[in-house]
Amino acid sequence: MAYNGVPKSYIDNKDDISQRRLNPNAWSYDSTGKNLSYMTFRRNQETEEFSQPHYEILNDWLASDNLTFKSALFYYTGSGYFNYDGSWTDSTMLRWTSANGYNPTQNPVNALLEGYVADHQGGWLPSMILKHNGGEFTAGLEIRIHRAEHWAKVPFSEYYPSGYDPDFKVYSYTGKRDIFSVFGRERLELSDN
């Protein structure tokens, strides 16, 4: 598997399977769509360290032959970083501007970006299943709370502007999503067929 995938012509090439094992950073076909116009490869410094443990409590209660209650209580966390090639960036894209206290004399050279992610999501999914003559009725709730923090900085560049703060964040944002819903479904068996 490759992070960005490989060109289809590499996948179809049965004579050289090593092409399928490449992990290119970027690639593109020419205007004919048949020949690769360029391909760049990942730097050795491009690494990823990410963890996403899941904590769940699942419960089914058979109240009777016809009535079942289900419950899923969960909490997921995810945090880590990923280093990726930033040699394509310029000072403006990295926010190395006078508005942020920098007066660069040139663009970054061979930059490496480090993105950070911290996600937290929890929720509860209770439901009820009622069997009846000719079918089954299901009803339930969905409650999800999600919070996230994302930011990036530049841990390496062959050029930094004067007075550069290594903890300066190129971007930083938080995400928030809350979901509250009710659902119902009726399944009818009109006949044995």
The pLDDT value recorded for residue 3 is 60
In this predicted structure, what is the pLDDT of residue 78?
A: 93
DSSP symbol at 50: E
Per-residue confidence of the chain (193 residues) as pLDDT tens digits? 456 778 888 888 888 888 877 777 778 888 888 888 888 778 888 888 989 999 999 999 999 999 999 999 999 999 999 998 888 889 999 999 999 999 888 999 999 999 999 999 999 999 999 999 999 999 999 999 999 999 999 999 999 999 999 999 999 999 999 999 999 999 999 988 8
Residue 183 identity (one-letter amino acid)? F
Rounded to whole angstroms, the Cα distance separating 148 from 159 reads 31
Q: How far apart are CA 126 and CA 143, in angstroms?
A: 9
For residue 9, the Cα-to-chain-centroid distance in whole angstroms is: 27
- Helix, strand, coil: what percent of the chain each, to 5? 5, 55, 40
| CB-based contact 113:154 (threshold 8 Å) | yes
pTM of the model: 0.69
Neighbours of 116 (CB within 10 A): 15
Give the pLDDT score at 126.
98
